[in-house]
Amino acid sequence: MPPKISRPWLVALAIVAIALPLIPYRFEVSAYVVQMFMQAVTYAIAVLGLVVVLGYTGQINLAQAAFFGLGAYGVALGTVTGGWSFWLSLAAGAAVATGAGLALGLTTIRLGGHYLAMITISFQQILDLVLVNWIEVTRGPDGVAGIPRPSLAGFELADDRAYLVFCAAVLYVVVFAVWWLPHTRLGRAMRSVRENELAAEVVGVHTLRTKVVAFSLSALLGAIGGGLYAGGFAYISPDNFNFARSVEFLTAVLLGGAQSPFGGVIGTLLIVQMPEWLKHLPESLRFIKDVYLAVYGIGVILIMVFLPEGIWGLIKAARARLARPADTTDTSGVAPLDFDVPGAAGGPVLRVKALSKHFGGLKAVDGIDIEVARGSVHALIGPNGSGKTTSLNVVSGIYRPTAGQVMLGEEDVSLLRPHQRAGRGMGRTFQNIRLFSTLSALENVMVGAQRDRNPIGRGNRALRARAMSALAFVGLADRAHVIVRNLPYGHQRLVEIARVLAGHPRLLLLDEPAAGLNQTEKMEFVDLLRRLRGHGLTIFLIDHDMGLVEKVSDRITVLNFGRKIAEGSPQEVLRNPDVIAAYLGTAGKVN
């Protein structure tokens, strides 16, 4: 559900939005000013693409001007060279740009961070070179002139004022869509990738697809902005679409606030208008005119240093202070969590066969066999560095096995990616909690509920209901709307478990779930594990607290140096002399 906007805000926003582009009809405004707004509006559409890819998905993109250029050249060459209609040309440019965005997004399969920045810069430079040098097609540095404007449903948009109204309408549609996006399945997936890509993948988000879609959307919006820009100014040349312009777009989005479409629009307005204001200073301040670029640069730096979330972040914080939302959530009508997994039959839930994982010469896991019986709690223990977490990483798909097999039920999942395993009912938590820290507890758990093939109804309502039930199960339903990083540590551990439960797991993998809990919290945790087992859930867990392991486990496997050294019931294993020597020591006493 998108955030609620209070009625007075909405009305004020609507009035300003509708009135602004109509001003030139009512008052005398120079053509120069109208064109400047046309520039701001078309730029803003491109900048909103960056809100999606950078603000929501956390992927750096320094090639937005290239996509902007593809849209602009699509319109220019389509209409002028090809003699196509404006709309067909725009669609063609947008299609090419989206394809390029898709290709760029695919590079994120291997690269992230500064490597991705390099890739996008390279793409930007390549396009720049093509536009300048492929003269037969692009007309080179001279650019393309005489680009016509379209007509829409019988209205000619040739007049500057009419064209501005049209561009503003497109911008508003885009603002609305980008504003709505974070609260959809796709938007939540994007934000989970931004917050913690590994956790997102393991929870069931197809992270690569999410990033590719984000890049494609960004490119599409860039191209639409560019296409409208070309129509607006009738003339374009390669230097409108170079790297400096990409940096300008990036500055705009960071300045305004990358996490909100309103931030993107505010940032763009400032970037386009600020140099103009500085030019029109009164006589006494004219000296600034000579250094206005420096003043402008300093202004941008100051805003970025002191407002890391941009100008919109400042406005948001002010609004939050005025109207503090309730900390607790109404929990009436939350259904009890249902654990039934369709099609679950007998036989072991997890079978690990001769599994090995080697890192160079280090045999972290060296040929282990484990069977986890349906409905049981199976513990994996062993000294630090004995290969426990590595085993869990191979089972959940973070690492590919060097040799051996992982079977989930009757299916060999050894070569599946983590989100595919999550889509088949494998869920896990992490040693050092991995939540999506700026999302609410509810949103975190909803991401878990939206895994592929989760047997719940379609739509946000079903996801939300499922997530609330999972939170209620761990006793946190009333904290559903708290941003998780503000929750105490023990509660964060529970949210992480609720996130897995929301996805109807057939197998729950827990990596040191009780680490950092005190004895009393551990007792509560033991109760939670017993309740889960009572509902028929199969649990495979790692922990170092032997009191806890002994209380909850049906079976224990002990690893040392990547190999299994013992297996059996808690009584057998914890008395095994090898296990005592390698792992337990004289439990409970200081030597």
Partner 1 sequence: MALLELREVASAYGNVQALRGVSLRVEAGELVTLLGANGAGKSTTLKTISGLIAPVRGEVLFEGQPIHRLGPEAVARMGISHVPEGRRIFPGLTVRENILLGGSNRKGVTRRQLEAEADEKFQIFPEIRPFEHALGWTLSGGQQQMLAVARGLMARPKLLLLDEPSLGLAPLIVQNLFGAIRDIRARGTTILLVEQNANMALSVADRGYVLETGTLILEGSPRELLDNEEVRAAYLGGHHA
Q: Is 359 in the site for partner 1 (CB under 8 A)?
A: yes
Closest approach, Cβ 433 to partner 1, in A, equals 11
Closest approach, Cβ 327 to partner 1, in A, equals 12
Q: If binding means CB under 8 A, how many residues of this protein chain bind partner 1? A: 38
| Residue matched to tokens 């009757």 | 410
CB atoms within 10 A of CB 324: 7
Q: Is 324 in the site for partner 1 (CB under 8 A)?
A: no
Closest approach, Cβ 515 to partner 1, in A, equals 5
Residue type present at position 46: A
Q: Which of 95, 523, 528, 563 binds partner 1 (CB under 8 A)?
A: 523
Instruction: Please state, in angstroms and rounded to a whole number, the distance separating the CA atoms of residues 79 and 231.
Output: 10
Token pair listed for 333: 């009508």
294 φ/ψ sector (left φ>0, alpha ψ -120 to 50, else beta): alpha
Q: Is 562 in the site for partner 1 (CB under 8 A)?
A: no
Q: Which of 112, 375, 385, 423 binds partner 1 (CB under 8 A)?
A: 385
| Residue matched to tokens 């299609």 | 95
Closest CB to partner 1 among 79 and 560? 560
Q: Is 546 in the site for partner 1 (CB under 8 A)?
A: yes
Q: Is 383 in the site for partner 1 (CB under 8 A)?
A: yes
Closest approach, Cβ 426 to partner 1, in A, equals 21
Q: Which of 544, 554, 563, 568 binds partner 1 (CB under 8 A)?
A: 544
Maximum Cα–Cα distance for the chain, whole Å?
A: 93
Q: Is 366 in the site for partner 1 (CB under 8 A)?
A: no
Segment interacting with partner 1 (CB under 8 A) among 59-67, 75-83, 218-226, 518-526: 518-526
Write the burial class of residue 535 (CB in 10 Å: 0-12 exposed, 13-18 middle, 19+ buried): middle
Instruction: Please state, in angstroms and rounded to a whole number, the distance separating the CA atoms of residues 249 and 265.
Output: 11
Closest CB to partner 1 among 81 and 571? 571
DSSP states of 359-424 as a string? ETTEEEEEEEEEEE-TT-EEEEE-STTSSHHHHHHHHHTSS--SEEEEEETTEE-TTS-HHHHHTT
CB-based contact 368:378 (threshold 8 Å): no
348 φ/ψ sector (left φ>0, alpha ψ -120 to 50, else beta): beta
Q: Is 586 in the site for partner 1 (CB under 8 A)?
A: yes
Residue type present at position 134: W
Q: Which helix (H) or strand (E) covers residue 364, if one does? A: strand 362-372
Residue 564 phi, psi (nearest 5): -80, 125
DSSP code of residue 580:
I
Closest approach, Cβ 192 to partner 1, in A, equals 22
DSSP code of residue 432:
S
Segment interacting with partner 1 (CB under 8 A) among 213-221, 289-297, 451-459, 583-591: 583-591
Q: Which of 116, 512, 541, 564 binds partner 1 (CB under 8 A)?
A: 512
CB-based contact 214:188 (threshold 8 Å): no
Q: Which of 182, 261, 382, 448 binds partner 1 (CB under 8 A)?
A: 382
Q: Which of 517, 535, 550, 554 binds partner 1 (CB under 8 A)?
A: 517
Closest CB to partner 1 among 76 and 549? 549
Closest approach, Cβ 550 to partner 1, in A, equals 12
Nearest to 551 by CA among 576, 578, 522, 584: 522
Closest CB to partner 1 among 367 and 385? 385
Paired residues of 368 in beta bridges? 355
Closest approach, Cβ 59 to partner 1, in A, equals 23
CB-based contact 163:149 (threshold 8 Å): yes
Closest CB to partner 1 among 423 and 490? 490
Closest approach, Cβ 141 to partner 1, in A, equals 46
CB-based contact 147:235 (threshold 8 Å): yes
CB-based contact 307:315 (threshold 8 Å): no
Segment interacting with partner 1 (CB under 8 A) among 10-18, 126-134, 244-252, 582-590: 582-590
Q: Which of 490, 528, 535, 554 binds partner 1 (CB under 8 A)?
A: 490
CB-based contact 109:208 (threshold 8 Å): yes
DSSP code of residue 544:
S
Closest CB to partner 1 among 139 and 522? 522
Closest approach, Cβ 590 to partner 1, in A, equals 5
Closest approach, Cβ 489 to partner 1, in A, equals 4
Q: Is 582 in the site for partner 1 (CB under 8 A)?
A: yes
Q: Is 584 in the site for partner 1 (CB under 8 A)?
A: yes
Closest CB to partner 1 among 23 and 307? 307
Binding mask of the shown chain, residues 280 to 319, with x at each position contacting partner 1 by CB under 8 A: ----------------------------------------
Instruction: Please state, in angstroms and rounded to a whole number, the distance separating the CA atoms of residues 228 and 432.
Output: 48
Residue type present at position 356: S
Q: Which of 248, 521, 550, 554 binds partner 1 (CB under 8 A)?
A: 521
Sites for partner 1 among residues 425-444 (CB under 8 A): 431-432
Instruction: Please state, in angstroms and rounded to a whole number, the distance separating the CA atoms of residues 169 and 174.
Output: 9
How far, in whole angstroms, is CA 368 from its chain's centroid? Answer: 36
- Contacting positions for partner 1 (CB under 8 A): 359, 362, 381-386, 389-390, 431-432, 486, 488-490, 512, 515-523, 544, 546, 582-591
